[in-house]
């Protein structure tokens, strides 16, 4: 039986086993997925055991700490200096991948060159989202409490990707203008504080569609308000499932039908709702 795991600390509640076990069934594979909580300073001691697996996922705080143990990285991992998926060769070599960006692009939909995109927050996953939007040639506006971090990213993007054709600016608050896409990359609205929204309804009304990286609750207040205004809204469950599906492609060479992934997204959302409604 092929063995896979998620490493991180503290792991707490994770939907990864739920998702991957269903992906294994879809692929007709005999495989198991576990959680491996590695304490601080314990990563080096854990690596020999990880080399015996077929692959593993990586979450906080090891997405960068794993880098010295890798034999190589794919383009996405190298672009962000961050790894969330590791494949293991038969001789135990580790290769890093970043499937978060693929999961994001699968979920968010088209980002036409020149389209106006509003991003709330650019730390962690928001940095990746900003970069992918910029690489698509969009006009990106970033609203971020840490102004210095946002300004540093705004200066870095054109320097690193001069041929991308995108533009980027930083604002203290959302400008009074229309946007094709509003993206939330902050934890505002996440369980258990689901009554919070990162922007006002006036901002949502000026945006054609919404993407919220949060997956718990499965429908955030931002998403509810967008849908009430007739705007399409997608939550973080789609990104989480798609990044897992891409990891499976890397590990096992399997592909999935889009309708099967969409069904799994709905199943995961129902499971999140069930688990947290019981609390």
Cα–Cα distance measured from residue 40 to residue 140, given in angstroms and rounded to the nearest whole number: 37
Supply φ then ψ for residue 92, to 5 degrees: 85, 10
42-69 burial, b at 16+ Cβ within 10 Å, e below that, comes to ebeebbeebbebbbbbbeeebbebbbeb
Q: Which two tokens stand for residue 273?
A: 């709702």
Contact 210, 234 (CB under 8 A): yes
Q: Which residues of 85-101 are buried (b: 16+ CB within 10 A; e: fewer)?
A: bbbbeeeeebbbbbbbb
Active site residue 63: yes
Half-sphere CA count of 272, side-chain side, radius 13 A: 27
For residues 136 and 3, what is the distance between their CA atoms, to the nearest angstrom? 36
Evaluated on CA atoms 253, 64, 210, 223, the torsion sign reads positive
Q: Which residues of 236-271 are buried (b: 16+ CB within 10 A; e: fewer)?
A: bbbbbbbbbbbbbbbbbeeebeeeebeebbeebbeb
Considering the candidates 63, 193, 231, 279, report the single residue annotated as catalytic. Answer: 63
The first and second tokens of residue 38, run together, are 């590695």
Query: Which amino acids are annotated catalytic?
Result: 63
């Amino acid at each position: 039986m092929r063995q896979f795991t998620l490493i991180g600390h503290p792991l707490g509640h994770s939907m990864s086993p739920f998702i991957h076990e269903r992906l294994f069934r879809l692929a007709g594979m005999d495989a198991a997925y576990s959680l491996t909580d590695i304490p601080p300073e314990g990563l080096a001691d854990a690596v020999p055991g990880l080399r015996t697996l077929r692959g593993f996922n990586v979450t906080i705080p090891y997405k960068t700490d794993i880098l010295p143990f890798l034999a190589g990285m794919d383009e996405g991992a190298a672009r962000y200096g961050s790894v969330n998926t590791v494949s293991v060769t038969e001789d135990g070599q580790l290769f890093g991948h970043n499937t978060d960006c693929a999961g994001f692009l699968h979920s968010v939909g088209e980002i036409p060159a020149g389209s106006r995109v509003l991003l709330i927050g650019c730390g962690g996953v928001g940095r990746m989202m900003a970069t992918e939007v910029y690489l698509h040639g969009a006009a990106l506006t970033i609203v971020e409490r840490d102004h210095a971090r946002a300004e540093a990213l705004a200066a870095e993007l054109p320097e690193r990707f001069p041929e991308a054709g995108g533009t980027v600016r930083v604002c203290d608050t959302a400008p009074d203008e229309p946007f094709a896409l509003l993206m939330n990359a902050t934890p505002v609205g996440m369980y258990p504080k689901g009554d919070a929204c990162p922007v006002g309804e006036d901002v949502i009304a000026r945006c054609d569609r919404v993407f919220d990286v949060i997956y718990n609750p499965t429908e955030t207040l931002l998403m509810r308000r967008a849908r009430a205004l007739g705007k399409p809204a997608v939550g973080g469950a789609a990104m989480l499932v798609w990044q897992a599906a891409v990891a499976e492609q890397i590990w096992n060479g399997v592909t999935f039908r889009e309708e099967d992934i969409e069904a799994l997204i709905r199943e995961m959302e129902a499971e999140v709702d069930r688990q947290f409604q019981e609390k």
